[in-house]
Structure 1
Amino acid sequence: MGRPADAIYLALKSSIQTGRLAPGEHLVEENLRAEYGVSRTPVRTALRRLSEDGLVTIEANRGAFVASWTDSDATEVMAIRSMLEPYAAQLAAERRTDEQLAQLHQLCDRMEGSAKGQAAGFRDELAHDNHEFHLLVLQCAASPRLYGIAVNLARAPMMLGSFQLYSDHQLTRSLQDHRELVNAIAQRDAAAARAIMEAHLRLSYLALTAPGSGHRGG
Structure 2
Amino acid sequence: MGRPADAIYLALKSAIQTGQLAPGAHLVEDTIREQYQVSRTPVRNALRRLSDDGLVTIEANRGAFVASWTSDDAAEVMAIRAMLEPYAAQLAAQRRTSGQLDQLTKLCDAMEACERIRGDRFRDELARQNHELHQLVLECAASPRLYNIAANLTRAPLMLGSFQFYDDLQLQRSLQDHRQLVTAIAAHDSATARAVMEAHLRLSYMALTASSQHTNAPEASSDDT
Same fold (TM over 0.5): yes
- Aligned residue for 1:15? 15
Across the two proteins, how many residue pairs are aligned to each other? Answer: 215
Deviation at 1:53, TM superposition (A): 1.6
Give the distance between the partners of 2:46 and 2:63, measured in 1 at CA.
Answer: 13
Q: Deviations over 1:124-148 (max 9, x none)?
A: 2211111111111111111122111
Give the distance between the partners of 2:97 and 2:23, measured in 1 at CA.
Answer: 38
- Aligned residue for 1:25? 25
- Aligned residue for 1:143? 143
- Report if the CA contact (8 A) 1:208-1:215 is conserved: no
Higher mean alpha-carbon deviation, 45-54 vs 192-201, is at 45-54
Q: Deviations over 1:30-55 (max 9, x none)?
A: 12222333332332222122112211
- Aligned residue for 2:154? 154
- Report if the CA contact (8 A) 1:51-1:58 is conserved: yes
Higher mean alpha-carbon deviation, 190-199 vs 56-65, is at 56-65
TM-score, length-scaled by structure 1: 0.91
What are structure 2's unaligned runs of at least 5 residues? Answer: none
Give the distance between the partners of 1:10 and 1:148, measured in 2 at CA.
Answer: 21
Deviation at 1:215, TM superposition (A): 4.5
Q: Which aligned pairs between 1:87-102 and structure 2 lie closer than 5 A?
A: 87-102=87-102
Give the distance between the partners of 2:29 and 2:61, measured in 1 at CA.
Answer: 12
Give the distance between the partners of 1:94 and 1:73, measured in 2 at CA.
Answer: 32
Deviation at 1:115, TM superposition (A): 1.8
- Report if the CA contact (8 A) 2:86-2:194 is conserved: yes
- Aligned residue for 1:109? 109
TM-score, length-scaled by structure 2: 0.89
- For 2:214, what is the secondary structure of its paired residue? coil
Q: Which aligned pairs between 1:175-186 and structure 2 lie closer than 5 A?
A: 175-186=175-186
- Aligned residue for 2:77? 77
Q: Deviations over 1:78-137 (max 9, x none)?
A: 111111111110111011011111111111111112222223322222111111111111
Q: What letter corresponds to residue 207 of structure 2 in structure 1?
A: A
Deviation at 1:154, TM superposition (A): 0.7
- Report if the CA contact (8 A) 2:23-2:66 is conserved: yes
2:96 aligned with 1:122: no
- Aligned residue for 1:212? 214
- Report if the CA contact (8 A) 1:163-1:171 is conserved: yes
Query: What's the RMSD between the two structures over aligned residues?
Result: 1.8
Give the distance between the partners of 2:88 and 2:191, measured in 1 at CA.
Answer: 11
